[in-house]
């Protein structure tokens, strides 16, 4: 199965629509490379971008028979809808929590077995806060969890984001290199953030790091309360 997504939405209509929804970043005009800053106290919107990601999904036997390079295994997934608001997530992160919990259960592992979360985190104030609340809830007591957002590097690819970020997650599993969250100078601290909830995990600020992991979780959420999570596992 060939699956993925592509997006080319850098046009006046798309930008105007997201601006009206107060979703795109409005600061950092003089330093645009600093504009996408997931989880940071100065975050205030996402950077719209374009791109494409394609993955090949197949049975293990088929991959082995053709000598394919295997990057990882899909071991669990979760999908739910919270229908809280047409654009904003519920701040408790309930929908994100249910999607992640479902994915971990279907993978038949414990949440403590997850070594890395590739967060949806788009650099919006409420969205990052809600996802962080969900991560805190699911991974309470986890003292070795890395969480990062690759949107800090590539912006928000909208319909292509899930596939591209799945590729990032699979490469982290295969290479042991956890991608950084760029522009992260102070996790949490934005108005109404509970800063204590941004202190428990490693958000991989500004520089990737080496870390061998066996299982990773990749999140993709959308307007209208659509929440998806996938657990990828290392192929041995």
For the chain, what is the radius of gyration of the CA atoms?
17
- Rounded to the nearest integer, the mean pLDDT of the chain is 95
pLDDT value of position 54: 98
| C-alpha distances out from residue 155 to 107, 126, 138, 139, Å | 29, 17, 26, 26
Q: How many CB atoms are closer than 10 A to CB 8?
A: 14
pLDDT value of position 82: 85
Write the pLDDT tens digit of every residue in 62-77: 999 999 999 999 999 9
Of the candidates 47, 21, 20, the residue with the CA atom closest to the CA atom of residue 35? 47
Mean pLDDT, range 5-22, rounded to an integer: 93
Whether the predicted pLDDT of 86 surpasses 90:
no
Domain count, the chain: 1
What is this structure's pTM? 0.95
What tokens appear for 103 in the block?
A: 């994915």
pLDDT value of position 195: 87
DSSP 156: B
pLDDT value of position 102: 99
Whether the predicted pLDDT of 48 surpasses 90:
yes
Report whether 83 contacts 225 (CB < 8 A).
yes
pLDDT value of position 194: 87
| C-alpha distances out from residue 100 to 50, 156, 208, Å | 26, 21, 24
Core vs surface per residue 106-126: b (16+ CB within 10 A) or e:
bbebebeebbbbbbbbbbbbb
Write the pLDDT tens digit of every residue in 94-118: 999 999 999 999 999 999 999 999 9
Write the pLDDT tens digit of every residue in 163-217: 999 999 999 999 999 999 999 999 998 888 888 889 889 999 999 999 999 999 9
Domain that holds residue 206: 2-233
Q: How many CB atoms are closer than 10 A to CB 175?
A: 12
Write the pLDDT tens digit of every residue in 119-129: 999 999 999 99
Instruction: Give Cβ neighbours of residue 46 (< 8 Å, ≥ 6 apart).
Output: 18, 23, 24, 25, 36, 122, 123, 124, 151, 155, 156
Task: Report the CATH number at residue 134.
Answer: 3.40.47.10
Report whether 100 contacts 219 (CB < 8 A).
yes
């Amino acid at each position: 199965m060939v699956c993925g997504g592509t997006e080319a939405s850098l046009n006046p209509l798309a930008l105007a629509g997201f601006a009206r929804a107060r979703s795109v970043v409005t600061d950092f005009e003089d330093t645009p490379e600093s504009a996408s800053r997931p989880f940071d106290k100065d975050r205030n919107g996402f950077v719209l971008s374009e791109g494409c990601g394609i993955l090949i999904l197949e049975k293990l036997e088929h991959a082995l028979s053709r000598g394919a390079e295997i990057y990882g295994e899909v071991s669990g997934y979760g999908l739910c809808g919270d229908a809280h608001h047409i654009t904003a997530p519920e701040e408790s992160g309930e929908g994100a929590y249910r999607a992640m919990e479902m994915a971990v259960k279907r993978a038949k592992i414990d949440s403590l077995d997850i070594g890395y979360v590739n967060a949806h985190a788009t650099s919006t104030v409420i969205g990052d806060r809600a996802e962080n609340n969900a991560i805190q809830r699911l991974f309470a007591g986890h003292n070795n969890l890395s969480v990062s957002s690759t949107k800090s590097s590539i912006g928000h690819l909208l319909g292509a984001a899930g596939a591209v970020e799945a590729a990032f997650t699979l490469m982290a599993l295969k290479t042991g290199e956890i991608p950084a969250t760029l522009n992260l100078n102070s996790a949490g601290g934005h108005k109404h953030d509970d800063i204590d909830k941004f202190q428990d995990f490693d958000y991989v600020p500004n520089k990737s790091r080496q870390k061998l992991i066996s299982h990773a979780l990749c999140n993709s959420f959308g307007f209208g309360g659509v929440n998806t999570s996938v657990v990828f596992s290392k192929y041995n």
